[in-house]
Chains A and B, each alone.
Chain A
């Protein structure tokens, strides 16, 4: 199983809503990542978890709150988002954070904030 799954595929939320994005992998990978991709832009790293501990937070606003409940799951909790947060949110995983480990990406969640 070389798959990273993400739910939901699409999400529309208002600026006062609270929602969560979910990511799951069963490859035994110990590094998991959240990326944000706006239209016609490259994916940009948001958070990195290594062995279930937050390793990197790329100065992401606090309205985005990551959580790694176990080695297979990664959540991104959303609260009080802005319309400019509308984007494709990609989850990825890799065996570790070693430079030679390739990252496997999920299909993404298309988020629209109204």
Chain B
């Protein structure tokens, strides 16, 4: 029973165009969301995050949008570059239930982005 879902296993985009990666979640207790990028033979690298109290966070070419009512977030990459080709993981953190701010990451399955020159 997946709590974080990335329903598109792959996405192909032309260089210079927008890449939109989608992520849905089921647990309304998630309080913080992150995107990680993973190249082959490397571990995931943190890209951008968003707190559940916000609906948008922007960092250079990367923007994450959060729609809490729809339990949906998306990562926009504009403009896309060939070096962006990688697997993108959506992750969510849930509070550990002790009233503190500690949490564990729950990952989606990932979406493989290919940016063609």
Contact = CB atoms under 8 A, between A and B. Distances in A.
Interface of B is mostly: strand
B108 A90 contact: no
A75 interface: no
Contacts, number: 57
Interface residues of A, number: 25
Going nearest first, the 8 A-B pairs with the smallest beta carbon separation are A105-B43, A42-B107, A97-B102, A102-B46, A99-B101, A99-B103, A105-B44, A106-B43
A104 B109 CA distance: 18
A34 B44 CA distance: 13
B43 A45 contact: no
Contact of A4 (B36, B43, B106): B43
**Among the interface residues A4, A6, A102, which one has the most CB atoms of the partner chain B within 10 A?**
A102
Interface in B11-52: 31-32, 34, 36, 41-46, 49, 51
Contacts of A40: 9, 109
